[in-house]
Structure 1
């Protein structure tokens, strides 16, 4: 290859990404022009549209964050220990007492105890300390332009414009997460429009700077999600020796009396309360970790964020804020996350040993857990069916 040809090839390689980016930006601006017209047709004022989209461009950082998939899934303990920290407990207790009068007003109206409102506040934005710094309109426009979830984010973008058009917040203030969650309680624009409340009666629903608006909005949201006024979220429990871990599926609801007859007790050894209510049993880690009986409000918390670990952290943080004890268990020394390849190895080993774990896809579904449970029973191991670094080591180093 001649020097001139090599130089030409090098320049083409250097310039091509820039050219592609420029082409994408042109397409984005063309799409944006059409979206602006739709917004005006739906009743958004020209002034709001011009102000909202001034200097908006395709945000590559948002697209990167949207596509980023973590290699490792954190264990329960890795998540929980970062979510329910000593600092967050102490801060939560202080803020709960400081804003008790306001919180009690929210509880009286919506039935959600103040400790939960403070716990959500702490989990979502570190009690308002960090609400996100990305421009919401640019983030939503970028995600709406991207074909992957265009319909969903186009609707959210239109709702964000309505918030601006109604004068609740200025464009410069409307900042949040890369995915469009906003304010101290991290509402998506559609939830903002449905559930945000003007708690201080100033004519605006300000989820960034008004704590009355933040707390009343969170209470309104949880109430509409089905919060049960007379129920707790759940309780840590102990399991009897020889317990059938397959019952702890987090799906099957049984009366507390049934769980009591199976030998379950509260974590401090006291008997389960004699109340006519149902609960589901959850083990977020392996047999060495905590066990929880969870009630209807646990499912309500998951409707805010559909994650067992998140809901357990919110519930426990709420408990700690009012002085209830820490969990009875701590993370074992060998607690470690599994990546997808390690999960595939577990499935491959189980299949090779004659336990039908299904396709080795790196996803621990019910078939994999049942196969693992059968393997554990045959080896006289606690049959929790929980894939972990510990059980991977057992499968890779079988005792002969």
Structure 2
């Protein structure tokens, strides 16, 4: 028997109600002095009505979307989670660009051939890149999230310790989307943080970048695949996608390479990189030598190296992580028939957790290799400090923050 989305949600809400007492206790522990009991949440929902109304939300929409809701305990749990484990990029890419995902992407390329060709012509974004974003975000729509987006955003707008104005704006926008008839509340499912639909737009991103592929007046990224794919292409185009160009190249660095050029700030033409001895893997030439690129070493000098073009950084506007953008670009290449990466990953060069990065930064500062504030983030200043330390002790100055490096600096004190 088929079960509707609304029936599924009713069952989930029923299970939540039966576990409410335990959930309230858990939430109270997560926020000392601010227990999220139903009554306090109800008072917040009532107090937020003037804000929503001032933005154009009707009373009928507000009540239909928010009446009877309880806080989403899963949203609170995930918001507060601070994992110390950092997945190495080779593990991340192994799952993100798995053989199964590549094969499914190639099948989707056939299944949606006409739609994707029209989208590519309209927006100038490679159809394989659009598919790769879909594959990365929801595994081609197989898992779009199981949270009622309004409930998740209301929970964050009420309880998040930071950025409450951001969550409130997202909540209001979600209510306006429902009010305009673009999606039924029963279909507005997404992630614990409110990312929605096949390609996981936040409500304000939907407002700015969603597209109506079929001209029916709705921008339905939840149940209409063509609308979702067109919206993704429009998002990338509006953020500066350069038509007819790729995202980057896997490259080989020469012996004695100047790793100071891999500082996250140096951008050279491909012809200039070639003069520094940088070549494409497999002996192929760069098709457009005037294109400018930045060198990225995701796992240091002993792993794959990449020259990243502007489109790589456009992909990062979707998710601001090098690993994500690399996965999208590589998955797109594999979908169109490209080969796996040629250079092996250094499996022993594990990345640092945020806590370990703070430790490394403090150690570098104490030894005179200034990196600024120890904030747990590896930015340009930290990379420069790492490279200065590596040069001082005779290591390859690649600026890569690894467990091996941390162990070395701990032991030399």
Over residues 78-123 of structure 1, what are the superposed CA-to-partner deviations in whole Å (9 max), with x where a residue is unaligned? 3222211111111111111221111000011100111001000000
> Residues 49, 363 of structure 1: CA spacing in aligned structure 2 closer, same or farther, 3 A cutoff?
closer
Q: Partners of 1:39 and 1:248 in 2: how far apart? A: 48
Give 1:344 deviation, angstroms. 4.2
1:374 equivalenced with 2:370 (yes/no): no
Q: Does the 8 Å CA contact 1:234/1:294 hold for their aligned counterparts?
A: yes
> Residues 72, 138 of structure 1: CA spacing in aligned structure 2 closer, same or farther, 3 A cutoff?
same
1:197 equivalenced with 2:211 (yes/no): yes
Q: Partners of 1:308 and 1:17 in 2: how far apart? A: 36
Over residues 251-279 of structure 1, what are the superposed CA-to-partner deviations in whole Å (9 max), with x where a residue is unaligned? 32211211111111101123333432211
What secondary structure does 1:319 align onto?
A: helix
Aligned to 1:83: 96
Q: Does the 8 Å CA contact 1:200/1:210 hold for their aligned counterparts?
A: no
Aligned to 1:149: 163
What secondary structure does 1:167 align onto?
A: coil
1:272 equivalenced with 2:272 (yes/no): no
Over residues 319-370 of structure 1, what are the superposed CA-to-partner deviations in whole Å (9 max), with x where a residue is unaligned? 0111111111222231424234433443455456554455655443444433
Higher Cα Rg: structure 1 or 2?
Answer: 1
Q: Does the 8 Å CA contact 2:351/2:401 hold for their aligned counterparts?
A: no
Q: Does the 8 Å CA contact 2:84/2:355 hold for their aligned counterparts?
A: no
Q: Does the 8 Å CA contact 2:105/2:132 hold for their aligned counterparts?
A: yes
Q: Partners of 1:264 and 1:16 in 2: how far apart? A: 54
Q: TM-score, normalised by structure 1?
A: 0.89
Aligned to 1:206: 220
1:36 equivalenced with 2:49 (yes/no): yes
1:122 equivalenced with 2:122 (yes/no): no
Aligned to 1:105: 118
Give 1:377 deviation, angstroms. 2.3
Q: TM-score, normalised by structure 2?
A: 0.86
Q: Partners of 1:194 and 1:252 in 2: how far apart? A: 32
Over residues 121-156 of structure 1, what are the superposed CA-to-partner deviations in whole Å (9 max), with x where a residue is unaligned? 000000000000011111111111235211111111
Q: Does the 8 Å CA contact 1:102/1:212 hold for their aligned counterparts?
A: yes
> Residues 48, 351 of structure 1: CA spacing in aligned structure 2 closer, same or farther, 3 A cutoff?
closer
1:183 equivalenced with 2:197 (yes/no): yes
Q: Does the 8 Å CA contact 2:299/2:345 hold for their aligned counterparts?
A: no
Give 1:20 deviation, angstroms. 6.4
What secondary structure does 2:386 align onto?
A: helix
1:137 equivalenced with 2:150 (yes/no): yes
> Residues 17, 186 of structure 1: CA spacing in aligned structure 2 closer, same or farther, 3 A cutoff?
closer
Q: Partners of 1:362 and 1:94 in 2: how far apart? A: 41
Q: Partners of 2:210 and 2:73 in 1: how far apart? A: 30
Q: Partners of 1:157 and 1:103 in 2: how far apart? A: 31
Q: Partners of 1:324 and 1:365 in 2: how far apart? A: 32
Over residues 172-217 of structure 1, what are the superposed CA-to-partner deviations in whole Å (9 max), with x where a residue is unaligned? 1111111111000101111112222222233322212211111111
| Structure 2 residues not aligned, in runs of 5+ | 1-24
Q: Does the 8 Å CA contact 1:137/1:160 hold for their aligned counterparts?
A: yes
Q: Kindly report which structure 2 residues correspond to 1:148-297, keeping only aligned pairs within 5 A, or say none.
A: 148-297=162-311
Over residues 212-234 of structure 1, what are the superposed CA-to-partner deviations in whole Å (9 max), with x where a residue is unaligned? 11111111211111111121111
Q: Partners of 1:128 and 1:109 in 2: how far apart? A: 23
Q: Does the 8 Å CA contact 1:164/1:171 hold for their aligned counterparts?
A: yes
Computed over aligned residues only, the root mean square deviation of the Cα atoms, in angstroms, reads 2.5
Pairs aligned (count): 386
Q: Partners of 2:406 and 2:268 in 1: how far apart? A: 32
Aligned to 2:406: 392
